[in-house]
A and B are shown apart, each in its own frame.
Chain A
Amino acid sequence: MEKNNNPINRRKFIKIVGISTAALSGVLPGCTSEKKETAGNSSAPQASGEMTYRTAACGDKVSLLGYGCMRWPTLPSPAQDGNVIDQAAVNDLVDYAIAHGVTYFDTSPVYMQGWSEKSTGIALKRHPREKWQIATKLSNFSNYTRENSIAMYKKSFEDLQVDYIDYYLLHSIGNGGIETFRGRYIDNGMIDYLMEERKAGRIRNLGFSFHGTQAVFDEVLAMYDKVHWDFVQIQLNYSDWRHATGSNVNAEYLYGELEKRNIQAIIMEPLLGGRLSKLPEHIIARLKQRRPEDSVASWAFRFAGSPEKVLTVLSGMTYKEHLIDNLRTYSPLIPLSDEDYKFLEETAQLIMKYPTVPCNDCKYCMPCPYGIDIPGVLLHYNKCVNEGNIPKSRQDENYRQARRAFLVGYDRSVPKLRQASHCIGCETCNPHCPQSIDIPKELHRIDAFVEQLKQETL
Chain B
Amino acid sequence: MLRKIRQTLAIVFFAMVTLLFLDFTGTLHVWFGWMAEIQFLPALLALNIGVVVFLLLLTLLFGRIYCSIICPLGVFQDVVSWISGKRKGKKHRFAYSPALTWLRYAVLVLFVIACIAGINSFVALLAPYSSYGRMASNLFAPLWQWGNNVLAYLAERVGSYAFYETEVWIKSLPTFILALITFVVIGVLAWHNGRTYCNTVCPVGTLLGVVSRFSLYRPVIDVEQCKNCRLCAKKCKSACIDLEKHQIDYSRCVTCMDCLDACKHGAIHYENRFRQERETNTGNSKEASDSSRRSFLTLAATLTVGSVLKAQEKKVDGGLAPIIDKKKPERQTPILPPGAGDKRHFAQHCTACQLCVSECPNGVLRPSANLTTFMQPQMSYERGYCRPECMRCAEVCPTGAISLNTLADKVSTQVGHAVFVKELCVVQRDGVSCGNCARHCPTGSIQMVAENPDDPESPRYPVVNVETCIGCGACENLCPSRPYSAIYVEGHERQRLV
Contacts and interface: CB of A to CB of B under 8 A. Distances in A.
B313 to A, nearest CB: 9
Contacts of A411: 164-165
Prevailing SS type, chain B contact patch? loop
Contacts of A456: 389
B388 A455 contact: yes
Nearest to B163: A408
A421 B387 CA distance: 13
Most-contacted residue by chain B among A368, A408, A454 (CB, 10 A):
A408
Contacts of B314: 415
A421 B474 CA distance: 10
A424 interface: yes
Interface stretch (B317-325, B371-379, B451-459): B317-325
B432 A424 contact: yes
Interface residues of B, number: 27
Nearest to B434: A424
B471 interface: no
A370 B165 contact: no
Contact of A371 (B156, B165, B322, B432): B322
Interface string A415-445: 1011001111111100000000000000010
Contacts of B156: 412
A418 B320 contact: yes
A412 to B, nearest CB: 6
B440 interface: yes
Contact of B433 (A370, A412, A417, A426): A426
A370 B161 contact: no
B430 interface: yes
Interface bin, chain A: 20 to 34
Given A370-B480, A454-B387, A74 B434 contact: no
A404 B161 CA distance: 7
B341 interface: no
A415 B316 CA distance: 9
A426 B434 contact: yes
A367 B426 contact: no
B435 interface: yes
Contacts of B165: 411-412
A186 interface: no
A405 interface: yes
Nearest to A84: B318
Given A371-B322, A418-B323, A455 B389 contact: yes
A388 interface: no
A408 B161 contact: yes
B412 interface: no
Contacts of A74: 317-318
Given A366-B320, A371-B322, A454-B387, A444 B433 contact: no
Contact of A373 (B317, B318, B322): B317
B319 A366 contact: yes
Contacts of A363: 319
A177 interface: no
A189 interface: no
A87 to B, nearest CB: 15
A159 to B, nearest CB: 18
Nearest to B427: A424
Contacts of A423: 436
B439 interface: yes
B478 interface: yes
Given A415-B314, A417-B323, A408 B164 contact: yes
B389 A424 contact: no
10 contacts: A113-B318, A366-B319, A366-B320, A370-B321, A371-B320, A373-B317, A373-B320, A417-B323, A424-B480, A425-B435
Interface of B: 156, 161, 164-165, 314-315, 317-323, 387-389, 426, 430, 432-436, 439-440, 478, 480
- The 6 lowest CB-CB distance pairs between A and B, nearest first, are A426-B432, A366-B319, A371-B323, A424-B434, A455-B389, A367-B321
Interface of A: 74, 78, 84, 113, 363, 366-371, 373, 401, 404-405, 408-409, 411-412, 415, 417-418, 421-428, 444, 454-456
Given A426-B434, A427-B433, A454-B389, 11 more contacts: A366-B319, A371-B322, A405-B161, A411-B164, A415-B314, A415-B315, A417-B323, A425-B433, A425-B435, A426-B432, A455-B388
